Amino acid sequence: MVKQAHKIASQVATLFETSPLILDSGVTLSPVQVAYETYGTLNSDKSNAIMICHALTGDQYVASTHPLTGKSGWWERIIGPNKLIDTNKYFVICSNVLGSCLGTTGPKEINPETGQIYGIDFPVITINDMVKVQVGLTDTLGIQKLFMVIGGSMGGMQALEWLVDYPDRVGSMMLLATAAQHSAQNIAFHEIGRQAVMADPEWRDGKYQEHDTFPRKGLSVARMTAHVTYLSEDGLMDKFGRNLQDRDAPTYGFEADFQIESYLRHQGSSFVDRFDANSYLYITRAMDYFDIAARYEGKLADAFKKASDVPCLVITFTSDWLYPPEENKRIAHALNAAGVPVSYASITSDRGHDSFLLDIPEMDKMMTGFIQSAEARLMKDQRDDG
Protein backbone atom coordinates (compact mmCIF):
# COMPACT_ATOMS: atom_id res chain seq x y z
CA MET A 1 0.00 0.00 0.00
CA VAL A 2 2.82 2.36 0.87
CA LYS A 3 5.43 3.11 -1.76
CA GLN A 4 8.11 5.66 -2.40
CA ALA A 5 7.11 8.26 -4.97
CA HIS A 6 9.67 8.90 -7.63
CA LYS A 7 9.10 12.62 -8.08
CA ILE A 8 9.31 13.76 -4.49
CA ALA A 9 10.98 12.42 -1.39
CA SER A 10 7.73 11.77 0.49
CA GLN A 11 6.13 8.47 1.19
CA VAL A 12 2.87 8.01 -0.68
CA ALA A 13 -0.08 5.88 0.40
CA THR A 14 -2.78 4.82 -2.00
CA LEU A 15 -6.18 4.88 -0.30
CA PHE A 16 -9.83 4.35 -1.18
CA GLU A 17 -9.04 1.68 -3.74
CA THR A 18 -11.83 -0.72 -2.76
CA SER A 19 -14.42 1.74 -1.46
CA PRO A 20 -14.22 5.22 -2.96
CA LEU A 21 -13.85 8.49 -1.08
CA ILE A 22 -17.26 10.13 -1.11
CA LEU A 23 -16.73 13.89 -1.12
CA ASP A 24 -19.09 16.37 0.53
CA SER A 25 -20.09 17.43 -2.98
CA GLY A 26 -21.30 13.87 -3.65
CA VAL A 27 -18.57 13.17 -6.20
CA THR A 28 -16.45 10.08 -5.58
CA LEU A 29 -12.71 9.65 -5.93
CA SER A 30 -10.91 6.32 -6.21
CA PRO A 31 -8.11 5.68 -5.61
CA VAL A 32 -6.68 8.63 -3.68
CA GLN A 33 -2.96 9.18 -3.28
CA VAL A 34 -1.66 10.92 -0.20
CA ALA A 35 1.93 12.06 0.17
CA TYR A 36 3.23 12.35 3.72
CA GLU A 37 6.28 12.69 5.86
CA THR A 38 6.87 11.05 9.22
CA TYR A 39 9.40 11.79 11.94
CA GLY A 40 10.29 9.62 14.92
CA THR A 41 9.18 6.05 15.53
CA LEU A 42 5.72 4.65 16.09
CA ASN A 43 5.77 2.78 19.41
CA SER A 44 4.54 -0.78 19.83
CA ASP A 45 1.05 0.12 21.07
CA LYS A 46 0.81 2.92 18.49
CA SER A 47 -0.10 5.48 21.12
CA ASN A 48 2.53 8.14 20.35
CA ALA A 49 1.38 9.53 17.00
CA ILE A 50 0.87 13.25 16.49
CA MET A 51 -0.86 14.46 13.33
CA ILE A 52 0.24 17.90 12.20
CA CYS A 53 -2.22 19.61 9.86
CA HIS A 54 -0.69 22.16 7.51
CA ALA A 55 -2.00 25.56 6.47
CA LEU A 56 -3.27 26.66 3.03
CA THR A 57 0.07 26.86 1.27
CA GLY A 58 1.94 24.57 3.62
CA ASP A 59 2.86 20.98 2.90
CA GLN A 60 4.07 17.73 4.39
CA TYR A 61 7.63 18.99 4.85
CA VAL A 62 6.95 20.18 8.37
CA ALA A 63 10.33 19.23 9.81
CA SER A 64 12.52 18.36 6.83
CA THR A 65 14.07 20.21 3.93
CA HIS A 66 11.62 21.21 1.22
CA PRO A 67 12.56 19.47 -2.04
CA LEU A 68 11.65 22.45 -4.25
CA THR A 69 12.87 25.39 -2.20
CA GLY A 70 15.71 23.78 -0.27
CA LYS A 71 14.44 25.56 2.84
CA SER A 72 13.91 24.08 6.31
CA GLY A 73 10.55 22.54 7.16
CA TRP A 74 7.87 25.05 8.07
CA TRP A 75 7.78 23.99 11.74
CA GLU A 76 11.28 22.56 12.05
CA ARG A 77 11.82 24.94 14.97
CA ILE A 78 9.19 23.01 16.95
CA ILE A 79 9.51 19.42 15.73
CA GLY A 80 12.57 17.21 16.01
CA PRO A 81 14.73 15.27 18.47
CA ASN A 82 14.67 16.99 21.88
CA LYS A 83 12.57 19.83 20.49
CA LEU A 84 9.19 21.03 21.78
CA ILE A 85 7.54 18.15 19.93
CA ASP A 86 10.21 15.60 20.65
CA THR A 87 10.56 13.05 17.89
CA ASN A 88 12.54 10.84 20.26
CA LYS A 89 9.20 10.32 21.98
CA TYR A 90 6.58 10.99 19.34
CA PHE A 91 5.79 9.74 15.88
CA VAL A 92 4.89 12.86 13.91
CA ILE A 93 2.83 12.55 10.72
CA CYS A 94 2.23 15.38 8.29
CA SER A 95 0.42 14.74 5.04
CA ASN A 96 -0.09 16.93 2.02
CA VAL A 97 -3.82 17.80 1.95
CA LEU A 98 -6.26 16.56 -0.66
CA GLY A 99 -6.31 19.04 -3.54
CA SER A 100 -2.77 20.25 -2.95
CA CYS A 101 0.19 19.83 -5.24
CA LEU A 102 3.02 17.91 -3.61
CA GLY A 103 2.10 14.33 -4.36
CA THR A 104 -1.44 14.08 -3.02
CA THR A 105 -4.40 13.67 -5.37
CA GLY A 106 -5.32 17.11 -6.66
CA PRO A 107 -5.86 19.14 -9.83
CA LYS A 108 -2.21 18.70 -10.85
CA GLU A 109 -2.37 14.90 -10.76
CA ILE A 110 -3.60 12.39 -13.33
CA ASN A 111 -7.26 11.40 -13.18
CA PRO A 112 -7.06 7.59 -13.15
CA GLU A 113 -10.39 7.37 -14.99
CA THR A 114 -9.31 9.45 -17.98
CA GLY A 115 -5.54 9.25 -17.86
CA GLN A 116 -5.51 13.03 -18.19
CA ILE A 117 -4.49 15.70 -15.68
CA TYR A 118 -7.52 16.63 -13.55
CA GLY A 119 -6.98 20.38 -13.89
CA ILE A 120 -10.18 22.30 -13.41
CA ASP A 121 -12.19 19.06 -13.74
CA PHE A 122 -11.08 18.13 -10.25
CA PRO A 123 -14.15 18.10 -7.98
CA VAL A 124 -14.60 20.88 -5.43
CA ILE A 125 -13.44 19.66 -2.05
CA THR A 126 -14.01 20.66 1.58
CA ILE A 127 -11.89 20.72 4.72
CA ASN A 128 -13.87 17.69 5.85
CA ASP A 129 -12.84 15.83 2.68
CA MET A 130 -9.18 16.58 3.47
CA VAL A 131 -9.66 15.07 6.92
CA LYS A 132 -11.32 11.94 5.53
CA VAL A 133 -8.07 11.34 3.63
CA GLN A 134 -6.01 11.91 6.79
CA VAL A 135 -8.20 9.40 8.62
CA GLY A 136 -7.63 6.93 5.77
CA LEU A 137 -3.88 7.44 6.09
CA THR A 138 -4.07 6.92 9.85
CA ASP A 139 -5.92 3.63 9.23
CA THR A 140 -3.26 2.53 6.77
CA LEU A 141 -0.57 3.23 9.36
CA GLY A 142 -2.54 1.06 11.82
CA ILE A 143 -3.12 3.91 14.25
CA GLN A 144 -6.49 3.71 15.95
CA LYS A 145 -6.06 6.78 18.12
CA LEU A 146 -3.75 9.75 17.66
CA PHE A 147 -2.03 11.10 20.76
CA MET A 148 -2.64 14.61 19.51
CA VAL A 149 -3.79 16.56 16.47
CA ILE A 150 -2.19 19.96 15.98
CA GLY A 151 -3.12 22.56 13.41
CA GLY A 152 -2.75 26.27 12.77
CA SER A 153 -4.85 28.38 10.41
CA MET A 154 -6.37 25.99 7.82
CA GLY A 155 -4.63 23.22 9.79
CA GLY A 156 -6.73 24.28 12.77
CA MET A 157 -9.85 23.88 10.66
CA GLN A 158 -8.81 20.31 9.85
CA ALA A 159 -8.11 19.70 13.53
CA LEU A 160 -11.63 20.95 14.34
CA GLU A 161 -13.05 18.46 11.84
CA TRP A 162 -11.14 15.68 13.61
CA LEU A 163 -12.61 16.85 16.90
CA VAL A 164 -16.16 17.03 15.59
CA ASP A 165 -16.28 13.87 13.47
CA TYR A 166 -13.60 11.62 15.00
CA PRO A 167 -13.43 12.52 18.73
CA ASP A 168 -12.74 8.87 19.66
CA ARG A 169 -9.65 8.83 17.52
CA VAL A 170 -7.95 11.86 19.08
CA GLY A 171 -6.34 12.03 22.52
CA SER A 172 -5.93 15.79 22.61
CA MET A 173 -5.98 18.75 20.32
CA MET A 174 -4.06 21.95 19.74
CA LEU A 175 -5.67 24.71 17.68
CA LEU A 176 -3.72 27.80 16.73
CA ALA A 177 -4.81 31.00 14.98
CA THR A 178 -7.87 29.42 13.42
CA ALA A 179 -11.62 29.79 13.02
CA ALA A 180 -14.77 27.67 13.14
CA GLN A 181 -16.09 29.33 10.02
CA HIS A 182 -14.74 31.40 7.18
CA SER A 183 -15.99 34.96 7.51
CA ALA A 184 -17.24 37.17 4.70
CA GLN A 185 -13.93 39.06 4.85
CA ASN A 186 -11.97 35.81 4.59
CA ILE A 187 -14.04 34.75 1.58
CA ALA A 188 -13.56 38.20 0.05
CA PHE A 189 -9.77 37.99 0.19
CA HIS A 190 -9.83 34.49 -1.25
CA GLU A 191 -12.07 35.64 -4.07
CA ILE A 192 -9.60 38.41 -4.93
CA GLY A 193 -6.87 35.79 -5.10
CA ARG A 194 -8.90 33.44 -7.27
CA GLN A 195 -9.95 36.23 -9.62
CA ALA A 196 -6.31 37.25 -9.99
CA VAL A 197 -5.42 33.68 -11.04
CA MET A 198 -8.35 33.35 -13.40
CA ALA A 199 -7.75 36.78 -14.96
CA ASP A 200 -4.25 35.75 -16.01
CA PRO A 201 -4.46 34.88 -19.74
CA GLU A 202 -2.03 32.04 -19.09
CA TRP A 203 -4.56 30.35 -16.83
CA ARG A 204 -6.32 29.15 -20.01
CA ASP A 205 -9.57 28.22 -18.24
CA GLY A 206 -7.60 26.04 -15.89
CA LYS A 207 -6.08 23.93 -18.67
CA TYR A 208 -2.66 25.56 -18.55
CA GLN A 209 -0.82 22.24 -18.41
CA GLU A 210 -2.30 21.30 -21.79
CA HIS A 211 -1.07 24.60 -23.21
CA ASP A 212 2.24 24.39 -21.40
CA THR A 213 1.65 27.75 -19.76
CA PHE A 214 1.30 28.82 -16.12
CA PRO A 215 -0.56 31.82 -14.64
CA ARG A 216 2.50 33.11 -12.81
CA LYS A 217 1.38 36.70 -12.61
CA GLY A 218 -2.11 35.92 -11.38
CA LEU A 219 -0.97 33.43 -8.77
CA SER A 220 1.75 35.83 -7.68
CA VAL A 221 -0.80 38.63 -7.13
CA ALA A 222 -3.01 36.19 -5.22
CA ARG A 223 -0.10 35.33 -2.97
CA MET A 224 0.82 38.99 -2.46
CA THR A 225 -2.72 39.86 -1.39
CA ALA A 226 -2.95 36.86 0.91
CA HIS A 227 0.46 37.51 2.38
CA VAL A 228 -0.60 40.96 3.57
CA THR A 229 -3.47 39.36 5.47
CA TYR A 230 -0.98 37.11 7.28
CA LEU A 231 0.89 40.11 8.69
CA SER A 232 -0.16 43.09 10.79
CA GLU A 233 0.04 46.82 10.21
CA ASP A 234 2.35 47.29 13.19
CA GLY A 235 4.50 44.38 12.09
CA LEU A 236 4.80 45.78 8.57
CA MET A 237 5.63 49.28 9.79
CA ASP A 238 8.16 47.84 12.19
CA LYS A 239 9.84 45.70 9.55
CA PHE A 240 9.62 47.93 6.47
CA GLY A 241 8.16 51.30 7.43
CA ARG A 242 8.24 53.53 4.35
CA ASN A 243 11.84 52.60 3.62
CA LEU A 244 12.94 52.72 0.01
CA GLN A 245 14.48 49.73 -1.72
CA ASP A 246 18.01 50.19 -3.10
CA ARG A 247 17.58 53.90 -3.75
CA ASP A 248 17.72 57.24 -1.99
CA ALA A 249 14.72 58.89 -3.62
CA PRO A 250 11.43 57.74 -5.17
CA THR A 251 11.52 57.19 -8.93
CA TYR A 252 8.07 58.66 -9.57
CA GLY A 253 7.20 55.52 -11.48
CA PHE A 254 5.85 52.07 -10.74
CA GLU A 255 9.07 50.31 -9.91
CA ALA A 256 9.28 48.69 -6.48
CA ASP A 257 10.39 51.91 -4.77
CA PHE A 258 9.41 50.73 -1.30
CA GLN A 259 10.91 47.80 0.54
CA ILE A 260 7.46 46.38 1.22
CA GLU A 261 6.76 46.27 -2.52
CA SER A 262 9.98 44.47 -3.21
CA TYR A 263 9.27 42.05 -0.36
CA LEU A 264 5.78 41.25 -1.66
CA ARG A 265 7.02 40.78 -5.22
CA HIS A 266 9.59 38.32 -3.90
CA GLN A 267 6.90 36.49 -1.90
CA GLY A 268 4.72 36.27 -5.01
CA SER A 269 7.42 35.08 -7.39
CA SER A 270 8.91 32.49 -5.04
CA PHE A 271 5.43 31.12 -4.33
CA VAL A 272 4.68 30.36 -7.97
CA ASP A 273 7.81 28.23 -8.12
CA ARG A 274 6.45 25.84 -5.53
CA PHE A 275 2.66 25.94 -5.77
CA ASP A 276 0.05 25.01 -8.32
CA ALA A 277 -2.45 27.67 -9.40
CA ASN A 278 -5.44 25.34 -9.59
CA SER A 279 -4.61 23.87 -6.18
CA TYR A 280 -4.76 27.42 -4.86
CA LEU A 281 -8.27 27.79 -6.26
CA TYR A 282 -9.49 24.50 -4.82
CA ILE A 283 -7.99 24.88 -1.38
CA THR A 284 -9.17 28.47 -0.89
CA ARG A 285 -12.64 27.33 -1.97
CA ALA A 286 -12.56 24.49 0.58
CA MET A 287 -11.78 27.03 3.29
CA ASP A 288 -14.61 29.31 2.16
CA TYR A 289 -17.13 26.51 2.59
CA PHE A 290 -15.89 25.83 6.11
CA ASP A 291 -18.56 26.46 8.75
CA ILE A 292 -18.77 23.97 11.61
CA ALA A 293 -21.75 25.50 13.41
CA ALA A 294 -23.84 25.54 10.24
CA ARG A 295 -23.98 21.75 10.43
CA TYR A 296 -25.40 22.01 13.97
CA GLU A 297 -28.17 24.56 13.45
CA GLY A 298 -25.77 27.37 14.21
CA LYS A 299 -24.84 26.04 17.65
CA LEU A 300 -21.10 25.57 17.71
CA ALA A 301 -21.13 23.95 21.17
CA ASP A 302 -23.38 21.18 19.84
CA ALA A 303 -20.63 20.21 17.38
CA PHE A 304 -18.30 19.42 20.28
CA LYS A 305 -20.65 17.40 22.48
CA LYS A 306 -19.04 14.09 21.62
CA ALA A 307 -15.56 15.48 22.30
CA SER A 308 -15.81 15.96 26.06
CA ASP A 309 -12.87 13.57 26.61
CA VAL A 310 -10.50 15.45 24.34
CA PRO A 311 -8.51 18.20 26.08
CA CYS A 312 -8.00 21.17 23.78
CA LEU A 313 -5.67 24.13 23.70
CA VAL A 314 -6.73 27.17 21.68
CA ILE A 315 -4.10 29.83 21.05
CA THR A 316 -4.73 33.13 19.34
CA PHE A 317 -2.57 36.17 18.62
CA THR A 318 -3.60 39.73 19.39
CA SER A 319 -2.61 41.17 15.99
CA ASP A 320 -4.21 38.40 13.89
CA TRP A 321 -6.93 40.14 11.90
CA LEU A 322 -7.47 37.24 9.51
CA TYR A 323 -8.64 34.79 12.20
CA PRO A 324 -8.92 37.24 15.07
CA PRO A 325 -8.88 36.46 18.81
CA GLU A 326 -12.70 36.79 19.02
CA GLU A 327 -13.11 33.93 16.54
CA ASN A 328 -10.71 31.70 18.49
CA LYS A 329 -12.36 32.67 21.75
CA ARG A 330 -15.70 31.67 20.28
CA ILE A 331 -14.29 28.18 19.71
CA ALA A 332 -12.92 28.05 23.27
CA HIS A 333 -16.22 29.08 24.83
CA ALA A 334 -18.15 26.62 22.70
CA LEU A 335 -15.75 23.85 23.77
CA ASN A 336 -16.22 24.88 27.38
CA ALA A 337 -19.98 24.92 27.02
CA ALA A 338 -19.78 21.39 25.60
CA GLY A 339 -17.79 20.23 28.64
CA VAL A 340 -14.53 19.82 26.73
CA PRO A 341 -11.48 20.52 28.92
CA VAL A 342 -10.10 23.57 27.17
CA SER A 343 -7.42 26.17 27.65
CA TYR A 344 -7.53 29.39 25.73
CA ALA A 345 -4.96 32.15 25.60
CA SER A 346 -4.50 35.24 23.57
CA ILE A 347 -0.80 35.90 23.07
CA THR A 348 0.42 39.44 22.59
CA SER A 349 2.26 39.61 19.29
CA ASP A 350 2.58 42.23 16.55
CA ARG A 351 3.42 39.60 13.93
CA GLY A 352 -0.17 39.00 12.81
CA HIS A 353 -1.68 35.70 11.71
CA ASP A 354 1.70 34.18 10.88
CA SER A 355 2.75 34.38 14.55
CA PHE A 356 2.04 30.69 14.99
CA LEU A 357 4.84 29.92 12.52
CA LEU A 358 7.33 32.16 14.30
CA ASP A 359 9.45 32.00 17.41
CA ILE A 360 7.02 33.19 20.08
CA PRO A 361 8.28 32.08 23.52
CA GLU A 362 4.85 32.46 25.18
CA MET A 363 3.38 30.07 22.62
CA ASP A 364 6.16 27.57 23.26
CA LYS A 365 5.58 27.70 27.02
CA MET A 366 1.90 26.99 26.60
CA MET A 367 2.38 24.22 24.08
CA THR A 368 4.97 22.60 26.35
CA GLY A 369 2.66 22.76 29.38
CA PHE A 370 -0.20 21.33 27.35
CA ILE A 371 1.84 18.46 25.91
CA GLN A 372 3.18 17.58 29.36
CA SER A 373 -0.32 17.42 30.82
CA ALA A 374 -1.50 15.32 27.85
CA GLU A 375 1.45 12.96 28.46
CA ALA A 376 0.57 12.65 32.13
CA ARG A 377 -3.02 11.94 31.20
CA LEU A 378 -2.04 9.26 28.68
CA MET A 379 0.21 7.55 31.22
CA LYS A 380 -2.55 7.62 33.82
CA ASP A 381 -5.06 6.14 31.33
CA GLN A 382 -2.59 3.40 30.46
CA ARG A 383 -2.06 2.62 34.16
CA ASP A 384 -5.82 2.54 34.71
CA ASP A 385 -6.30 0.22 31.72
CA GLY A 386 -3.43 -2.03 32.80
Partner 1 sequence: MTDSQSKDLRPDLQLIANLIAPESRVLEVGCANGDLLQWLVHNKRVDGRGMELGQAGVNTCVSKGLYVVQGDADVDLKDYPDKSFDYAVLSRTLQAVRQPREVLLELLRIGEKAIVTIPNFGHWKIRLQLLMNGKMPVTRHLDYTWYNTPNIHFCTVKDMLDLIESEGLTLDAFVPFDAKGDQLDQSLSRANWGAHQALFVISD
* Footprint on this chain of partner 1 (rule: CB under 8 A): 301, 311, 313, 329, 332-334, 336-337, 339, 341-348, 362, 365-366, 368-370, 372-373, 376
State the nearest-atom distance from the C-beta of 291 to partner 1, in Å: 19
Distance CA(347)–CA(344), nearest Å, equals 10
Is residue 364 annotated as involved in ligand binding?
Answer: no
Give residues with Cβ within 8 angstroms of 65, minimum separation 6. Answer: 71, 72, 73
Kindly tell me which of 202 and 362 has the beta carbon lying closer to partner 1. Answer: 362
Kindly tell me which of 165 and 362 has the beta carbon lying closer to partner 1. Answer: 362
Nearest to 98 by CA among 70, 64, 135: 135
Kindly tell me which of 112 and 369 has the beta carbon lying closer to partner 1. Answer: 369
End-to-end CA distance of the chain: 33
State the nearest-atom distance from the C-beta of 188 to partner 1, in Å: 28
Are 154 and 56 contacting, i.e. CB atoms less than 8 angstroms apart? yes
**Has 320 been annotated as catalytic?**
yes
Sign of CA dihedral 96, 101, 106, 109: negative
- With H, G, I as helix, E, B as strand and everything else as coil, classify residue 326: helix
State the nearest-atom distance from the C-beta of 93 to partner 1, in Å: 24
State the nearest-atom distance from the C-beta of 362 to partner 1, in Å: 6
**Has 139 been annotated as catalytic?**
no
Q: Is 124 exposed, middle or buried (0-12, 13-18, 19+ CB in 10 A)?
A: middle
Is residue 274 annotated as involved in ligand binding?
Answer: no
Are 172 and 312 contacting, i.e. CB atoms less than 8 angstroms apart? yes
Kindly tell me which of 196 and 347 has the beta carbon lying closer to partner 1. Answer: 347
Give residues with Cβ within 8 angstroms of 337, minimum separation 6. Answer: 301
**Catalytic option among 64, 95, 100, 153:** 153
Report H helices in the chain.
Answer: 127-140, 154-165, 184-199, 208-211, 216-230, 233-239, 259-272, 277-289, 300-303, 325-337, 361-385
Concatenate the DSSP letters of all residues of 19-35 into one string: S-EE-TTS-EE-SEEEE
**Has 227 been annotated as catalytic?**
no
State the nearest-atom distance from the C-beta of 324 to partner 1, in Å: 14
Nearest to 186 by CA among 138, 209, 154: 154
Return binding residues: 223, 354
Catalytic residues: 153, 320, 353
Binding residue positions for substrate: 223, 354
